[in-house]
Amino acid sequence: MQKKIIITGFGGQGVIMAGRIVGMAAALGDKLESSLVQSYGPESRGGACSVQVTIADRQIYYPYINVPDILVCMSQGGYDKYKDILTGDTILMIDQDLVRVSADHDFYAIPSTRFAEEMGLKMMANIIMIGFLAGITEAVSLDSAKDTVSKSVPSKTIEINLKAFDRGWEFAQATLKSRRKKASGNTGVV
């Protein structure tokens, strides 16, 4: 088993932190191997950034990702940079208010930034996206992801960050349920 994940966005969204949480959840909580490679522009806020996380049940010999299994885009610039390496098997996840998908590729969308703003902290969009990622892909387990979130944020913000994570997880479950209904032909319309 090997899962290659790229999370991309712009500086200030917590993209690097999101990658670290996913990698740590896999390694420490799920007892898997993980590697992390981060990349960001010269600007600390507003510049392009991305993180590559590889999760495997065996040693990882090459940490760089040429073709992701999972691509999470939290900005249009990130999507535009990586859209050409998508395959039919790549799971694409986007912040639906910030990214417009131009190719004919299936994707999962969540308004993570809007949800974070509704919760009063725009900076938690990354935590919402981690919950969504964990819920859709099961790249990391629910328990290890939540535990890692609680250990990665300031102690006074643990409760609100866990609520943000749960918001993403619950949206993922609702999305998957809706897709299963649609696939079975049961749209709920009478």
- Map out the domains of the chain as residue ranges: 2-183
Instruction: Tell me what pLDDT residue 129 has.
Output: 95
What tens digit of pLDDT does each residue of 15-56 get?
899 999 999 999 999 999 999 998 866 555 566 789 999 999
The C-alpha atoms of residue 71 and residue 27 are separated, in whole angstroms, by 20
pTM given for the model:
0.88
Q: How many of the other CB atoms lie within 10 Å of CB of 11? A: 18
Instruction: Tell me what pLDDT residue 45 has.
Output: 56
Instruction: Tell me what pLDDT residue 187 has.
Output: 59
Instruction: Tell me what pLDDT residue 160 has.
Output: 93
What tens digit of pLDDT does each residue of 62-87 get?
888 899 999 999 999 889 989 989 99
Residue 117 has pLDDT above 60, yes or no: yes
Instruction: Tell me what pLDDT residue 103 has.
Output: 74
Instruction: Tell me what pLDDT residue 183 has.
Output: 81
**Torsion sign, CA atoms 177, 98, 66, 105:** positive
Instruction: Tell me what pLDDT residue 102 has.
Output: 84
Specify whether the CB–CB gap between 30 and 141 falls below 8 A.
Answer: yes
Instruction: Tell me what pLDDT residue 13 has.
Output: 85
- CATH code of 2-183, in short, is 3.40.920.10
What tens digit of pLDDT does each residue of 135-175 get?
999 999 999 999 999 999 999 999 999 999 999 999 999 99
